[in-house]
Amino acid sequence: MLRQPLLVLARSDRVKRLVTAMPVSSGIVSRYVPGEATGDAVDATRDLIEHGLHATLDFLGEDTLDREQADATVRAYLEVLSSLAERGLARNTEVSVKLSAVGQALPDNGEKVALENARTICHAARNAGTTVTVDMEDHTTTDSTLGILHELRKDFPETGAVLQAYLHRTEADCRDLAYEGSRVRLCKGAYAEPESVAFTDRQDVDKSYVRCLKVLMAGQGYPMVATHDPRMIDIAGALATRNGRAQGSYEYQMLFGIRPDEQRRLAEAGEKVRVYLPYGHEWYGYLMRRLAERPSNLRFFVRSLLSKK
């Protein structure tokens, strides 16, 4: 019930100023974000891989209206990809990219800039021996993001898509994207969306998630089951079995810091598990979405804010 108001409050500049005055090392931030520097991300990745997990790295940032910032984000991805390759970690690690961080929201030619920037990152990922997944943002960007993904896949068919089960349109999008070689991450969706485009009741979102999973698991693509929800995880496993899918012909994905024991349990049971690992100084939007999902964290959050540790 608190989710939508918290996401709306997160857009206030005052709240943002207050929250970003906290250092990344403060408990509530470091629970979800292992650090700001490339080295922090690479160290955390190595640790995950040593525990039998895979990773997807997200250089934090979104909604940029500044071309220079978009280009800096591209450079950050190139740096981390080369660092992963040098350390032999790229085989188990891909990167997740938000198109709004690489220029999609720029006035005039945003989509063109985002496509070119994403292409540069895809190229570097391929050279490093890995791939890119294009994150999905709020519903006003869905068509644009899927359009850019379609263009990227002409040269880089391995590029992953993300679909959000809370949108009414997503079951149909799953059908469109369940073709051979198509990597599709299915998540519930993290933004404040209106009833006109999205299910707002949790049970309806879950039902949609299951319908979408059925389509993806029965299809020819590679489903990436991004959820911490034990029921959805069980259903995904049952659907994989029902569709004769071997372990490794789909994967589970979870966020860094959320249900780490479950991440390891699944990996020990032979499942492929990938952890989404965000890093960088632009952690505000990401942190607020995580808090909105889990209002029980609020008390801890307010304590961190007051102590500024």
Ligand X SMILES: Cc1cc2nc3c(=O)[nH]c(=O)nc-3n(C[C@H](O)[C@H](O)[C@H](O)COP(=O)(O)OP(=O)(O)OC[C@H]3O[C@@H](n4cnc5c(N)ncnc54)[C@H](O)[C@@H]3O)c2cc1C
Q: Which residues touch 225 (CB under 8 Å, ≥6 apart)?
A: 186, 213, 232, 233, 236, 250, 251, 252, 253
* Nearest distance from C-beta of residue 258 to ligand X, angstroms: 5
Among 183, 185, 289, 290, the one annotated catalytic: 185
| Site track for ligand X across 124-163, x = CB under 6 A | -----------xx-------------------------x-
Instruction: Please report, to the nearest 10 degrees, the dihedral formed by the alpha carbons of residues 58, 100, 191, 55 taken in order.
Output: -10
Verify whether residue 183 is a known catalytic residue: no
* Nearest distance from C-beta of residue 294 to ligand X, angstroms: 4
Q: Which CB sits closer to ligand X, 156 or 276? A: 276
Binding of residue 104 to ligand X (CB under 6 A) = no
> For residues 213 and 176, is the Cβ–Cβ distance under 8 A?
no
> For residues 130 and 93, is the Cβ–Cβ distance under 8 A?
yes
> For residues 45 and 277, is the Cβ–Cβ distance under 8 A?
yes
Q: Which CB sits closer to ligand X, 67 or 298? A: 298
What value, to the nearest 5°, has the Cα angle with vertex 9 and ends 17 and 193?
Answer: 130
Among 276, 284, 286, 301, binds ligand X (CB under 6 A): 276
Verify whether residue 175 is a known catalytic residue: no
Q: Which of 70, 196, 64, 206 is nearest to 140 (CA)?
A: 196
Given the rule CB under 6 A, which of 76-84, 145-153, 187-195, 264-272 is the region that contacts ligand X?
187-195
> For residues 97 and 136, is the Cβ–Cβ distance under 8 A?
no
| Residues in touch with ligand X (CB under 6 A) | 135-136, 162, 164, 185, 187-191, 226-229, 253-255, 258-259, 276, 290, 293-294
The set of catalytic residues is: 135, 185
